[in-house]
Structure 1
């Protein structure tokens, strides 16, 4: 696996290079500054991107969202020492693999990176719980019927299947789903499924 690390801090650069060198599956680590022209990267050859988000992050966040749309197989790990909930909520909607707020403990950071490399996800527990709390507050505002439909959407059922199960028309289901998306801020059924799957643990 080839790794692209977009980093401002030389300290973080040294830690990441030190840790990833011990991973047998890592072949090459390319470290660049945020000012690097990322259009020059051959993304077909990249397995993981590690990004240190600090100051002017809007451009980088848009970049992450674009990468996840076009290269969903690339694992993306974000380091955000400022621990910003708005950023976290935005990025987990893109199904990034990791959101880390500090690397003070080398062994713990190495463990997290290993888990992500082998296919797990890691999100900072405090931010994850805060995000779920906000979503639960939204869920409490759903009607009984909307909560029923939310759970069925989470199980992967389409509108027709939900209608048959609840003995309501497909058009009625569609209206309920639209209301749920508006109340909870979802944009797709995939986000609903992802949200319901991620409620129980910080490692997935």
Structure 2
């Protein structure tokens, strides 16, 4: 098992490196300051990536999302210092295994690591509350057909593909999408996808 630790903090890199080296199943631990310091193709060789996010660095977020799309089996744990909705939504969308907001003690970190290693997900309770109690409109205000369109939209289908799947005209799909965004007070299709994932 190869592990990558990404943090601007020297203390974080050193302490996690020491902790991971205690595991006999871990073959190698690499610690770097930024994802820009490593070839993107090399990321595919790691089993577990810990990344501490201290600002909304778009390049790093794009790299993480691309990594999970290309190789969903790589387990990722994010320590989000920004407490950003954007990063939380990305974590949900790409099924990031671990999302933490705070520094935790060694035993608690080891507990979370073991859970993730064994295929579980670990999300900070504050983040879960944000997901559950976020002020979003109820899906009940959508018609049955609009819900069907939303489900297909969430799979990444375009209007033409949704129309073919549901046997309706592309212009009708476009109208349904417009109604969905208006009723749920969403700005675009991406927000609709995130909304649908919160419900699943």
How big is each residue's C-alpha offset from its partner over 1:97-121, in whole Å with a ceiling of 9 and x where there is no partner?
1111122322111111111111111
Task: After TM superposition, list the pairs within 5 Å mapping 1:114-129 onto structure 2.
Answer: 114-129=114-129
Shift in Å, 1:96: 1.3
Question: Partners of 2:83 and 2:112 in 1: how far apart?
Answer: 17
Question: Partners of 1:127 and 1:150 in 2: how far apart?
Answer: 28
Shift in Å, 1:152: 7.4
- Segments of 5+ residues of structure 1 without an aligned counterpart are 164-168, 198-204
Shift in Å, 1:122: 1.2
Q: Give aligned pairs, total.
A: 189
Question: Partners of 1:51 and 1:13 in 2: how far apart?
Answer: 10
Q: Which residue of 2 aligns with 1:138?
A: 137
TM-score by structure 1 length? 0.71
Q: Which residue of 1 aligns with 2:75?
A: 75
How big is each residue's C-alpha offset from its partner over 1:9-52, in whole Å with a ceiling of 9 and x where there is no partner?
12222332233233343221100111743226523321111111
How big is each residue's C-alpha offset from its partner over 1:117-138, in whole Å with a ceiling of 9 and x where there is no partner?
111111122122212333x622
Q: Which residue of 2 aligns with 1:59?
A: 59
RMSD: 3.6
Q: Would you say the 8 A contact 1:149–1:177 is kept in 2?
A: no
How big is each residue's C-alpha offset from its partner over 1:57-94, in whole Å with a ceiling of 9 and x where there is no partner?
22211111121222222111111123222321133212
Q: Would you say the 8 A contact 1:5–1:32 is kept in 2?
A: yes
Q: Which residue of 2 aligns with 1:31?
A: 31
Shift in Å, 1:186: 5.7
Q: Would you say the 8 A contact 1:85–1:131 is kept in 2?
A: no
Question: Partners of 1:65 and 1:142 in 2: how far apart?
Answer: 31
